[in-house]
Structure 1
Amino acid sequence: MFGCKNYQKMETVNSVDLQKYAGVWYEIASYPTIFQKGCTNTSAEYQLTDKGYVKVINRCNKDSVDGIAKSIEGKAFVVENSNNSKLKVQFFWPFKGDYWIIGLADDYSWAVVSHPNRKYLWILSRTPVMDESVYKKVIQLIKDKGLDPDKLKKTMQKPI
């Protein structure tokens, strides 16, 4: 068919230990989205709850690393039979979006998150700066997953 791409099925990591995944992640790069327009110094914090979901707090500064601080809270629900590698994230009821962990360092120092339709992609790190050799490794993983690294925009982060 004309105009159709032959994508391989999106694969997630085998399993995720949510205890290790919890905490603060810094956005190193992402596909630009309307809901993150103008965001810099972007981070996401995941907090385990005893209520059957993970609390999500996304933060950024608008237009510069010292710009106006913005945040939004949501909930992430583990998708059944996914070994915690697929979540449904909800910021506004009743809408939930897919959050698929498609790459994860053994030591949980970096993660790659996407969506089954490949329209969204985030490279996350436990630190605001990712070593260039690690970044290149992550870019190769992205290519291997059938995603386009040329669409990525690096996120401006304020050094800690």
Structure 2
Amino acid sequence: MRPCRWMWTVWLALALPMAYAQQLTNEPVKQLDLKRYLGEWHEIAHLPMFFQRQCVDNITATYSTLPDGQVRVHNACRTRDGKMDDADGVARTTNKAPGALEVRFAPSWLAWLPWVWADYWVLDVDPDYRWAVVGSPSRDYLWVLSRDTHMQRAQFEALRHRAAERGYPIEKLVMSAPLD
């Protein structure tokens, strides 16, 4: 009987951490005040991605309203050679959830193609809109954003933990800004 009990204990020891590794559903926030979300955000960390490979620091995303109700997206960063690099895009709301947006950086004449739009999900947002966590349904993209150029370590660790609970590969996060 002891071997069975031992095997049961080993199985529990292996299964329980996996069962609790993803406790939160990966979904956008149910409430988002887009007007409060507008403005400049500083990137604290991100998952590595091809289109951001040249960025080393001073990474920002600035959102502003366009006349048609969509949102202008202006991303900028400092590159290895000290120059600034930037890209402009457009974000739009969807009918999926208030925190589920779509963004494109392709030219406007391609906007009719569905594959030029990428999911941009606001996963967590501070009640005072001081920080936000943005990701994708596929968990390929993740950004931790702040209104300030830095973030308290405890706050970052809490957001990082919540991202892990949603199944994001947080061990791959690239730090873009200092923690206090």
TM superposition score normalised by structure 2: 0.77
- The amino acid that maps onto 1:87 is L
Based on CA coordinates, which of the two structures has the bigger radius of gyration? 2
Structure with greater strand share of residues:
1
Equivalent in 39, 46, 54 of residue 63 of structure 2? 46
CA distance in 1, matches of 2:59, 2:171: 20
2:29, 2:97 within 8 Å by CA — same for their partners in 1?
no
SS at match of 2:78: strand
2:150, 2:177 within 8 Å by CA — same for their partners in 1?
no
Deviation at 1:143, TM superposition (A): 1.5
The equivalent of 1:10 in structure 2 is 26
- The amino acid that maps onto 2:89 is G
SS at match of 1:92: coil
| Structure 1 unaligned blocks of 5 or more | 1-5
CA distance in 2, matches of 1:156, 1:126: 12
The equivalent of 2:105 in structure 1 is 91
2:88, 2:105 within 8 Å by CA — same for their partners in 1?
yes
Deviation at 1:141, TM superposition (A): 1.1
CA distance in 2, matches of 1:34, 1:156: 19
Equivalent in 23, 27, 37 of residue 21 of structure 1? 37
- The amino acid that maps onto 2:105 is F
Structure with greater helix share of residues:
2
Matched, 1:55 2:72: yes
Equivalent in 111, 130, 143 of residue 164 of structure 2? 143
How many residues of Structure 1 are paired with residues of Structure 2 in the alignment? Answer: 150
The equivalent of 2:14 in structure 1 is none
Deviation at 1:101, TM superposition (A): 0.6
Deviation at 1:139, TM superposition (A): 1.1
SS at match of 1:80: coil
| RMSD, aligned CA | 2.0
Deviation at 1:151, TM superposition (A): 1.0
Equivalent in 84, 88, 105 of residue 73 of structure 1? 88
2:91, 2:101 within 8 Å by CA — same for their partners in 1?
yes
Deviation at 1:49, TM superposition (A): 2.2
CA distance in 2, matches of 1:63, 1:32: 16
Deviation at 1:16, TM superposition (A): 0.6
Matched, 1:125 2:141: no
Deviations, residues 1-41 of structure 1 (Å, cap 9, x unaligned): xxxxx987521111110111000000100001110112021
SS at match of 2:88: strand
2:123, 2:135 within 8 Å by CA — same for their partners in 1?
yes
SS at match of 2:159: helix
CA distance in 2, matches of 1:26, 1:130: 10
SS at match of 1:32: coil
CA distance in 2, matches of 1:148, 1:90: 24
